Amino acid sequence: MMHPVSERRPAITDRTKLAPMETLKKDPAFMADAAGTAPKTYRITFESGDSFDCREGEKVLAAMERARLRKIQVGCRGGGCGACRVQILQGDCDRLRMGKNHVDDAEAAAGFALSCRITPTSDMVLRNAVKTPVPRQKCA
Amino acid sequence: MALKGILRPGFIQLRVLDMDEALTHYIDRVGLNEVSRSDDGRVFLKGWDEFDRHSFILREADQAGIDLMAFKVDSDASLNDFTRRLNAYGVATDEVPAGEQPGVGRRIGFTIPSGHRIELYADIEMSETHPAIENPMIWPVEPRGMKATRFDHALLYGPNLNEVLDLFTNVLDFSLAEYVDTPDGKLAIWLTVSNKAHDIAFVNHAEPGKFHHAAFFLESWNDVGHAADIMTHYNISRDVGPTRHGITRGQTIYFFDPSGNRNEVYAGGYTYYPDNPTRRWSADQVGRGIFYYEGELNEAFLSVVT
């Protein structure tokens, strides 16, 4: 089958009715800044002991980049390439959709995630879990 | 040789994780125009300066990457001729019936040794919003966002580079414009079937069927700067640039769509003629070849693909 029908998802937003401000208002860090209040933050700690603060609503990888730490490789930042794959040892988060070729359902249930697609809902402890490169394969 | 047989890249189909986010990116930021949506969820897009109905297709899926890239050929007779040559070479082909994509005639599809699906087609409707023909103004509606004029080329990652090169040059009539040489053989090849420095490129990579980037052509270096302004304003994930490639000489930015598919906006690049010699880059100069000003590859160039 050449073009599998994609999973049914909610109707696509009419983008002409979305002002840029409406997008920003969904960002808790932006709203906290706008209100002059300190955004709520969670402490993200690597197994090695390095740690950084992640704002409510902020992607873990983005917070790591903001803290100028390089404990995980920064790739596409969109859930597509798998460079920033981690294992969550402690803590909870919300997840955006990420490539199933990098984190399948069983791995997600076991606490694996792409750090560019998770936002913390508690303090977290993480381990770098990038997959080893796929061995060279011959095509017919 | 006049342009005959395969004319140019026609369209590419990419997978995205979230169609809403993807459309904001490709329409509002990159500046493509939406053409239509099909019942199975595919969205068809085009650049403002393209005559054909569509050139860029998105499909929502559970992983990012490339479904296929298609080249337009000059006639149905050529389509038959390439099918015969592919089969004689030992490449199995299949036929996608006319109308499977709106406005597109029958397509011949096949898998190349790097694991990618390539298609050829001869017929596609002209866009309803095509560039003007009679006393043509520059554009019917002013370009938006990064002002992408067209889908220009793609860089794909996969194994069996020598076999891919042989297929493209000996069966599909492409020319090898440039390549990166290493003691272990070719690392990367830039292939052209037209006057452009490249229409498709490949980097040798263990995993088959991987996608490095799809490029959109911009009119000028100033437009590359304008694209960088848009990426900064909207916090678009950027990989590298603005910079220049030594290979092809294109002025460029690599950045990512919201699903992690790499995009390029590109201006300049030299004009290629079929009698030009193949340009060679040695392994110790590959950094200069890929990122001319930096003189070295970044960490992501060889490892971050979808």
d(CA B189, CA B195): 17
Q: Which amino acid is at B195?
A: N
Contact B150, B218 (CB under 8 A): no
Query: What's the pLDDT at A2?
Result: 43
Query: What's the pLDDT at A46?
Result: 94
d(CA A81, CA B305): 5
With CB atoms and an 8 Å threshold, state whether B260 touches A81: yes
Contact A99, B260 (CB under 8 A): yes
User: What distance in Å separates residue A62's CA from the closest CA in chain B?
Assistant: 10
Quote the Cα angle for B173-B88-B169, to 5°.
Answer: 20
What ipTM was estimated for this complex? 0.88
Q: Residue B300 contacts by C-beta under 8 Å, 6 or more apart in sequence?
A: A74, A75, A83, B239, B240
d(CA B230, CA B154): 22
d(CA B119, CA B70): 4
User: Hey, what CATH topology would domain B6-121 get?
Assistant: 2,3-Dihydroxybiphenyl 1,2-Dioxygenase; domain 1 (3.10.180)
Fold identical between B6-121 and B150-290?
A: yes
Does A73 lie at the interface with B, CB-CB under 8 angstroms? yes
Q: Of B187, B150, B302, which Cα lies nearest the Cα of B239?
A: B302
Catalytic-residue membership of B205: no
Under DSSP, the state recorded for A133 is P
B192-196's contacts with Cβ under 8 Å and 24+ in sequence apart are: B192/B272, B193/B5, B193/B6, B193/B7, B193/B8, B193/B71, B194/B3, B194/B7, B194/B8, B194/B272, B195/B3, B195/B271, B195/B272, B195/B273, B196/B8, B196/B152, B196/B153, B196/B269, B196/B271, B196/B272
Instruction: Classify residue A28: in a domain, yes or no.
Output: no
Place of tokens 């906006």: B265
d(CA B159, CA B203): 8
Instruction: Classify residue A54: in a domain, yes or no.
Output: yes
Query: What's the pLDDT at A12?
Result: 55
Q: Which amino acid is at A53?
A: D
With CB atoms and an 8 Å threshold, state whether A4 touches B299: no
With CB atoms and an 8 Å threshold, state whether B207 touches A134: yes
User: What distance in Å separates residue A140's CA from the closest CA in chain B?
Assistant: 7
Domain that holds residue A45: 40-128
Catalytic-residue membership of B264: yes
Catalytic-residue membership of B116: no
Query: What's the pLDDT at A37?
Result: 75
Q: In DSSP terms, which residues pair with A94 in a beta bridge?
A: A119
d(CA A83, CA B302): 12
Pick left, alpha or beta for residue B263 (phi over 0 → left; psi -120 to 50 → alpha; otherwise beta).
Answer: beta
Query: What's the pLDDT at A27?
Result: 64
Domain count, chain A: 1
Substitution target in B15, B21, B43, B63 with the highest count of A β-carbons within 10 Å is B63
- Taking 90 as the threshold, does the pLDDT of residue B259 lie above it? yes
- Taking 90 as the threshold, does the pLDDT of residue B40 lie above it? yes
Instruction: Classify residue A105: in a domain, yes or no.
Output: yes
Instruction: Classify residue A14: in a domain, yes or no.
Output: no
Q: Residue B77 contacts by C-beta under 8 Å, 6 or more apart in sequence?
A: none
Q: In DSSP terms, which residues pair with B62 in a beta bridge?
A: none
Domain layout of chain B by residue ranges: 6-121, 150-290
The model's pTM? 0.89
- Taking 50 as the threshold, does the pLDDT of residue B114 lie above it? yes
pLDDT category of residue B43 using cuts at 50, 70 and 90? very high
Instruction: Classify residue A22: in a domain, yes or no.
Output: no
End-to-end CA distance of chain B: 36
Place of tokens 């898998």: B111
d(CA B260, CA B66): 12
With CB atoms and an 8 Å threshold, state whether B60 touches A2: no
* Structure tokens belonging to residue A94: 């919300």
pLDDT category of residue B154 using cuts at 50, 70 and 90? very high
Pick left, alpha or beta for residue A14 (phi over 0 → left; psi -120 to 50 → alpha; otherwise beta).
Answer: beta
Widest distance between CA atoms in chain B: 55
Catalytic-residue membership of B212: no
Place of tokens 């296929």: B68
Instruction: Classify residue A70: in a domain, yes or no.
Output: yes
Q: CATH for B150-290, among 3.30.2010.10, 1.10.10.60, 3.10.180.10, 1.20.120.1780? A: 3.10.180.10
Contact A18, B23 (CB under 8 A): no
d(CA A23, CA B22): 14
| Domain at A59, CATH number | 3.10.20.30
Query: What's the pLDDT at A6?
Result: 42
Contact B148, B199 (CB under 8 A): no
Pick from A18-27, B119-128, B219-228, B256-265: least confident? A18-27
Query: What's the pLDDT at B97?
Result: 98
* pLDDT by position in tens, chain A (length 140): 344 444 444 455 555 455 556 556 666 666 766 777 778 999 999 998 999 999 999 999 999 999 999 889 999 999 999 999 999 999 999 999 999 999 999 999 999 999 999 999 999 999 999 985 433 333 32
